[in-house]
Structures are given as C-alpha cells and as structure tokens.
Amino acid sequence: MADVKLSGVHKYYGNVHAVRGVDLSIADGEFAVLVGPSGCGKSTLLRTIAGLEDPDDGTITIGGAVVNDLRPRERNIAMVFQNYALYPYLTVNENIAFGLRARKTPEIEIRKRVGEAAEMLGIGNLLQRYPRQLSGGQRQRVAIGRAIVRKADLFLFDEPLSNLDAQLRDEMRSEIKRLHHEITTTMIYVTHDQVEAMTLADRIVLLRDGKIEQQGAPLELFEQPRTGFVAGFLGSPSINLIPATLKTSGTAAEAVFKSGGSLTLPPAKAALLSGAEERQVLVGIRPQHFSRAGGGGPLREGVVSYSATADLIQPTGTRTFTTIKIGGVDAVAELQAHDVTNHGERIELAIDLNRVVLIDPASGLVIA
C-alpha cells in the first residue's frame, strides 16, 4: 500500500489547461473518489498519476517516492478501465494471469493468486470461459481480478461502471466497496456519477474546470457545501435553488421572494449572516428537507409550515418526488410514498430551514 501526494500539478493540451495546479494528498489505504462533470480534468488527473500522461508542472509522489520520471509499469499500480480491456482470445483465467506471466511470476504463485481473486469476486466457475461468453458485470469482475492479482501499491479505477445497466452498477458498487474493505489498498476512483461518489468514497474530491472545488467526507460535502456548485452537484434529486432577497434586522433574517411569500430563517442560521441589511441570495433547500405536515402539534424550531399545490408527482415505490412552487420557481419535495397521490392536490408541508444553504449568486459562495 502507499499514500499519494500531488503538488502543484498542471496539465495542458495545447491551449487547453486541463489540470490547474492541483494539490492533493491521499492517505495510505484511503478510498478517494475524483468526481465532477465532463471536462473537469478528473480522468486526466488519474492518467497523470498512472503515468499515462506526463504533468507539465508539479510533482507526483507515491509511497514517498517522486514518480514523475517513472514509466507506468515502474510505479507498481494497477488500473481498471471503463472498457474492460480484456483480451478476447484468452480465457478468463488467462486474462487474469496475463500480467503476472508478463512479469515471469512462478506458475504456482500465479495459480494461487488467480484462484484467490476469482473466489473473492465470485467468478471461480467462469475461469475457462472467454470474454464473449460473459455479461458486462462478469467482464468487469475479470478486469478487477486482473488488477488485484498484481498486489499493487495503488489501484486506479477510470469510470469502470459506466457501461453497465443500473442494476449491475448497484451490484458492482457493493463489490468494489467490499473489495476495498478486504484488501485495504489505496484506491483512487474516477466517476461523473455523484451517487457512486457518495456511496463508495472515504473522501470525495470534487473537481471543476481542472481545480479542486471542495474535498472531504461524503456527508461533509453534502451537508456543508462551500459553493453553490458543490451544493448543486451532490444530491439526487438536485438541491432546489430559489432566488430571494435576504432581509436582516438584528438577530432576525427573512428570505423574501419576488412572487410573494417569504421564509423566516431560524436564529442559528440568521446568526451566521452579517453585512448588508438587504442582499440577493439563492435559497438552497434539498428535496429531503421537506416532509408532510400533520398531527397539529407545534413544529420544532427552524421547521416552518408551507402550503403548496402538487404540480407533478413522480412515485418511485419507496418515495414520491413532488414538484411544487416556491417563490414562483419549481421545487422538488421528496415525500413518503403515500403522502400525496393526486396531481393538483393541495398539501401542507414542513420545511426544515435549519439545513438550508444560502448562496451569494454573484460569487457562487455559500454564505450561511
């Protein structure tokens, strides 16, 4: 196993500045996920760590050694690609063993490692098949098996699940997370899927335009985003962003909407605000922070009631996504399965404003 450290890493493709001075430290045994939209530089950064691309500036350290001038095979890494990269004319057994044979590993050791990997991944009964005889999920297991027999210091995954259907992606996410728990090797995983990032990572590194926008534990980024980009990227359905005028007076603060209506912020949230008495903001409310009001009892501090019309209902079985209007803007509320059943139904909601985020639309920064 090994830690990974990037210091001031830049990468250019002609006039395109793909990676912009990235500083990143990944601890020994950590599962780090690089996530972000297409073109943010995550795959370029991974390929630079692997040695498939040369950085134009900065240093890359693996296990305490600078590897800038080392070829990929000299870095003791193993990489799993999006397209599996299996040899079609070799059996599963031969595909998994290929790298070991290329390094002239003794046959008895090869058989042992292939057997252990196949058992770990549940493909022991597939060793004599060819890739064309396998499903997509099975092929990806073979690709992972070929990587783990290497006993590398570092495992790199470049969007390995993007070619699979939804059910197989769910299964393989669980397999990869279980695998990390078993072998405890440092892993760096690239994806554009924020659900994959949230479920797999010990630490998420969210990239934007070649730079790190924010990094930290999954729930830290979800609950304490530093920018509107982070708040909007993480979470499904996405956070609701509603334009408003923030009016503060003493210890009180209120978000007033142009179309009428307002939301009074709880004292703890209002205490974080300072400066002008009136300013434009985006009020960020996650769909999960709505619930159906009922029971007639008093709401706890920071939770307010809101009456709305269900404009659109999207049941998922366990939950129902309901589109309503707040401040004249469509907003999605995630409710219990049977909380709302009819389009046009008038519903009483409770909104937890203790967890709202307020974003400065000019700078994109979260102000409270």
Which part of the chain has CATH 2.40.50.140? 240-359
pLDDT at 171: 84
Of 89-98, 220-229, 239-248, 265-274, minimum mean pLDDT range: 265-274
The CATH number assigned to the domain with range 4-225 reads 3.40.50.300
Tell me if 216 sits within 8 A of 190, measured CB to CB. no
* pLDDT band, very low/low/confident/very high, at 237 (cuts 50, 70, 90): very high
The CATH number assigned to the domain with range 240-359 reads 2.40.50.140
pLDDT at 71: 93
Query: What does the block give as tokens for 337?
Result: 């399965």
* pLDDT band, very low/low/confident/very high, at 69 (cuts 50, 70, 90): very high
Query: What does the block give as tokens for 80?
Result: 């799993």
Q: What DSSP assignment string belongs to 320-335? A: EEEEEEETTEEEEEEE
Query: What does the block give as tokens for 349?
Result: 């909601």
Query: How many CB atoms are located within 10 Å of the residue 293 CB?
Result: 19
Mean pLDDT of 279-293: 95
pLDDT at 189: 97
Q: Report the mean per-residue pLDDT for the chain.
A: 92
Mean pLDDT of 330-356: 94
Round to the nearest angstrom and report the end-to-end CA distance of the chain: 40
Please report how many Cα atoms fall inside a 13 Å half-sphere around the Cα of residue 183, on the Cβ side. 26
Query: What does the block give as tokens for 315?
Result: 């049941």
CA 131 to chain centre: 30
* Sheet bearing 57-62, strands edge to edge: 16-26, 4-13, 57-62, 65-66
